[in-house]
Amino acid sequence: MTLMLLVVQEAAHEGGNAGPFSLNFGLVFWTWIVFIALVLALRKYAWPAILKATEEREAKIRQQLGEAETMHGQAKALLEEQRKLLAEAKGSAQSLLAEAKAASERERNQAIEKVKAEQESLMDRARRDIAAERDKAIAELRRETVDLALSAASKVISQRVDGPLDRQIVLDYLAGVERSR
């Protein structure tokens, strides 16, 4: 920074009137010559390359946009197809569920019918067993009645034997016992 101040002071002493806002026509002329040469060189060598790169980039972007639109269309088609498949899957699942419910209901009804049939057979068997036991009880009761009647008859006979034996009374008594069987 000090060096710069020294250069500015020296320039002020040499030119006498050289300041930052003073015009030096030699400097302006050479600045314009360099600027025009630079513009011409850039126009001849750099500008076509820059323009070509820009046009290539624009073409590449257009191509990518076209591909993006194509992919977007394909994505929409795939999305629609997936929605359709999802709807079909839902319908299929609902039909399978309905079939499963129907099969379950059929199995339930068959099980109920089977249980009812088994219950009926058990009731029939129980009724037969009850009837057999009743018949057996009635037969046992008859035997006891016969035994009791024989016992009573033997007492009557023994009393009659002690007394006058009336044969007709004994026969009548035994005929009554036979009829009760």
What number is the average pLDDT over the span 10-14? 56
Residue 22's pLDDT is what? 75
- Examine the pLDDT at 40 and tell me if it is beyond 80: yes
Mean pLDDT within 125-149: 87
- Residue 13 above 70 pLDDT? no
Q: Is residue 10 part of a domain?
A: no
Give the chain's domain count: 1
Residue 5 inside a domain? The answer is no
31-58 in b/e form (b: 16+ CB < 10 A) is eeeeeeeeeeeeeeeeeeeeeeeeeeee
Max mean pLDDT among 3-17, 27-41, 140-154 falls in 27-41
In a domain, 2, yes or no: no
- Is 14 contained in some domain? no
Distance CA 56, CA 50 (A): 10
Q: What is the pLDDT of residues 42-100, one digit of tens each?
A: 999 989 989 999 999 999 999 999 999 999 999 999 999 999 999 999 999 999 999 99
- Give residue 18's pLDDT band: very low, low, confident or very high (50, 70, 90): low
Could you give the CA distance from residue 180 to residue 108 in angstroms, rounded to a whole number? Answer: 55
In a domain, 129, yes or no: yes
- Its domain, for residue 161, covers 22-180
Give a yes or no: residue 136 inside a domain: yes
Q: Which residues contact 153 (CB under 8 A, 6 or more apart)?
A: 170, 173, 174, 177
Instruction: Answer yes or no: is 49 within a domain.
Output: yes
Confidence of residue 161 (pLDDT cuts 50, 70, 90): low
The pair of three-digit structure tokens given for residue 113, joined into one six-digit string: 């019918």
CB 180 within 8 A of CB 145: yes
DSSP 8-state secondary structure symbol assigned to residue 43: I
In a domain, 82, yes or no: yes
